[in-house]
Amino acid sequence: MTQSPSAAATVFSQPFWQAASEQRLIRPWCAHCQISFFPPALCCPHCLETGWTWIDSSGIGSIYSFTRVFRAPVAGFETPYVVAIVDLEPGFSLITNVLESNFDQVRIGDEVEVDWAGSMRDLPVFRRASAAGRRTS
Ligand SMILES: [Zn+2]
């Protein structure tokens, strides 16, 4: 079995990774702007308020953009895989993986849900929502 690379927590991202280890998706939220942002930083990138907090994410979003990777940039990734930008709540987007066995089915705008069943169980990945809930445009 190949050992996958893991993300390094920073003082700002440590709560995100702690929640992820509990299979909870959280997001930075600025009460002043009423908006989220990512990645976490000292202050809100919109108003520079430093008093932002972490709140739960719905874990439901849509694919903003994606690419298919057939040659991993470093050892430890099982190819092929889909890398996507997933839009979640306003201001909160993640660069993540979309687990999909049939790449030809993945489309920009597809609804996705967070999933913790990837090869790295403490890393949020996404699966496309059921066909019944999928957008048609
Ligand atoms: Zn703000």
**What distance in angstroms lies between residue 104's CA and the mean position of ligand 1's atoms?**
39
**What distance in angstroms lies between residue 94's CA and the mean position of ligand 1's atoms?**
19
75-79, 100-104, 118-122, 128-132 — which is least confidently predicted? 128-132
Full-model pTM:
0.85
Are 64 and 86 in contact by the 8 Å Cβ rule? The answer is yes
- pLDDT score, position 76: 79
Is 21 strand, coil or helix?
helix
**What distance in angstroms lies between residue 92's CA and the mean position of ligand 1's atoms?**
13
**What distance in angstroms lies between residue 65's CA and the mean position of ligand 1's atoms?**
26
131 band by pLDDT with thresholds 50, 70 and 90: very low
User: Given its phi and psi angles, is residue 132 left (phi above 0), alpha (psi -120 to 50 degrees) or beta?
Assistant: alpha
Distance CA 129, CA 59 (A): 11
**What distance in angstroms lies between residue 32's CA and the mean position of ligand 1's atoms?**
5
**What distance in angstroms lies between residue 29's CA and the mean position of ligand 1's atoms?**
8
In tens, the pLDDT along 72-114 reads: 888 878 889 999 999 999 999 999 999 987 888 999 999 999 9
Amino acid code (one letter) for 44: C
First-last CA distance in the chain = 40
**What distance in angstroms lies between residue 30's CA and the mean position of ligand 1's atoms?**
5
**What distance in angstroms lies between residue 61's CA and the mean position of ligand 1's atoms?**
22
**What distance in angstroms lies between residue 111's CA and the mean position of ligand 1's atoms?**
27
